[in-house]
């Protein structure tokens, strides 16, 4: 469990709001707090530009340049002889870079 404060706040807020039945309020508060702690309510969307180290006003040439630079740095084939943990990290980073680049290209085609 990464976060816990949503459950705590939900417990006390629920008990205080439903004074007629504080046990029910506390249970509802715990449920909502758990949902908050588990990121069920994602308030932010992943920014594909941030994965490439750019802002949304970058030109197509800057996007291509950043993609090529990062993928050449993290491409798993470059680390074929490296430790398994390092290769796994490079594969994950390359997947993230490719997904961000594909998302930007899709957004720009609209």
Residues 57, 93: one domain?
yes
Q: Report yes or no: 49 and 99 within 8 Å, Cβ to Cβ.
A: no
Say whether pLDDT at 70 is over 90.
Answer: yes
Say whether pLDDT at 40 is over 80.
Answer: no
Residues 56, 103: one domain?
yes
Residues 68, 91: one domain?
yes
Q: Which residue has the higher pLDDT, 19 or 110?
A: 19
Residues 79, 28: one domain?
no
Say whether pLDDT at 65 is over 60.
Answer: yes
Judge whether 42 lies within some domain: no
Residue for token digits 């050449």?
A: 72
Q: What is the pLDDT at residue 7? A: 76
Residue for token digits 């961000």?
A: 100
* Interval 21-49 mean pLDDT: 75
We report the CATH number of the domain holding residue 67 as 1.10.287.110
* Interval 64-86 mean pLDDT: 87
* Interval 31-39 mean pLDDT: 76
Domain hosting 56: range is: 48-109
Q: Which residue has the higher pLDDT, 46 or 27?
A: 27
**Interatomic CA distance for residues 25 and 21, integer angstroms:** 6
Residues 103, 54: one domain?
yes
Judge whether 21 lies within some domain: yes
* Interval 55-60 mean pLDDT: 90
**Interatomic CA distance for residues 56 and 75, integer angstroms:** 24
Residues 70, 29: one domain?
no
Residue 9: other Cβ atoms inside 10 A: 15
Residue 21 pLDDT class (50, 70, 90 cuts): confident
């Amino acid at each position: 469990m990464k976060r816990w404060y949503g459950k705590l706040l939900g417990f006390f807020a629920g008990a205080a709001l439903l004074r007629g039945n504080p046990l029910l309020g506390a249970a509802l508060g715990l449920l909502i707090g758990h949902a908050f702690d588990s990121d069920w309510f994602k308030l932010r969307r992943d920014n594909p530009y941030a994965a490439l180290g750019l802002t949304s006003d970058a030109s197509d040439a800057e996007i291509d340049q950043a993609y090529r630079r990062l993928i050449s740095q993290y491409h798993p084939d470059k680390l074929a002889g490296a430790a398994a943990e390092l290769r796994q990290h490079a594969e994950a980073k390359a997947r993230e870079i490719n997904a961000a680049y594909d998302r930007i290209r899709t957004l720009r085609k609209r």
